[in-house]
Amino acid sequence: THYDPRWYKAWHTYALANFEVVGFLESQVEKSSDYPSQSLVTHIVEAVGGFFRSIAIRNENTLQDTLRLLTLWFKYGGHDDVSNAMSSGFGDVEVDTWLEVIPQIIARIQTPSANIRRNISSLLNDVGRHHPQALVYPLTVASKSSSETRRNAALAIMNHMKEHSRNIVEQ
């Protein structure tokens, strides 16, 4: 990554190595701790950054890296450092990257973590600005949920989408 910062394979391998270290450290950590150690957080943030770079450079066939990124995000995104790494990485990749994983993202729309909810909302608002048609149906389904938090989160994103795509949202 130092000698050729545009080399996809180097970033992918770097991210994967950190992802594997996270898995190893998880198995070593006492299960009673809800908050990850600083060492674990460091590897999570490095893995997140590496996956974002890898996805940004490759820009195709990135589903596996995107899914690994989602795994780290949904598991550790409540930690401020991980949340910041995620939010800064969103701008580094094409918005289209997220189209394949919209169901996984919307499935977490009502997560208890404020950091994760904020990043989900921000990402879905961005996707909705570029591809409103990709979000209308899944958000409509989520807005009919029996869970009030899920319903409200979906409606908030749909209301935001109405600012730029009213016709599509109201059809």
Domain check: are 8 and 69 in the same one? yes
For the chain, list residues with pLDDT below 70: 1-3, 30-35, 59
pLDDT at 36: 75
pTM, 2 dp: 0.89
Domain boundary among 93, 123, 148: 93
Domain boundary among 34, 64, 93: 93
Taking the CA atoms of residue 121, residue 54, residue 78 and residue 147 in that order, the dihedral angle to the nearest 10 degrees is 40
Q: Verify that 74 and 20 share a domain, yes or no.
A: yes
Boundary-marking domain end, from 70, 93, 116: 93
Distance, in Å, from the CA atom of 115 to the CA atom of 137, rounded to the nearest integer, reads: 25
Same domain, 157 and 74: no
pLDDT at 32: 47
Same domain? 83 vs 43: yes
Render pLDDT for 5-55 as a digit per residue (tens, 0 to 9). 778 889 999 999 999 999 998 888 765 466 678 889 999 999 999 999 999
21 shares its domain with 10 = yes
Task: Give the residue numbers spanning the domain of 158.
Answer: 96-171
pLDDT of the residue at 160: 93
Beta-carbon contacts of residue 111 (< 8 Å; ≥ 6 apart): 74, 117, 120
Average pLDDT over the chain reads 91
pLDDT value for 28: 80
Q: Do 117 and 79 belong to one domain?
A: no
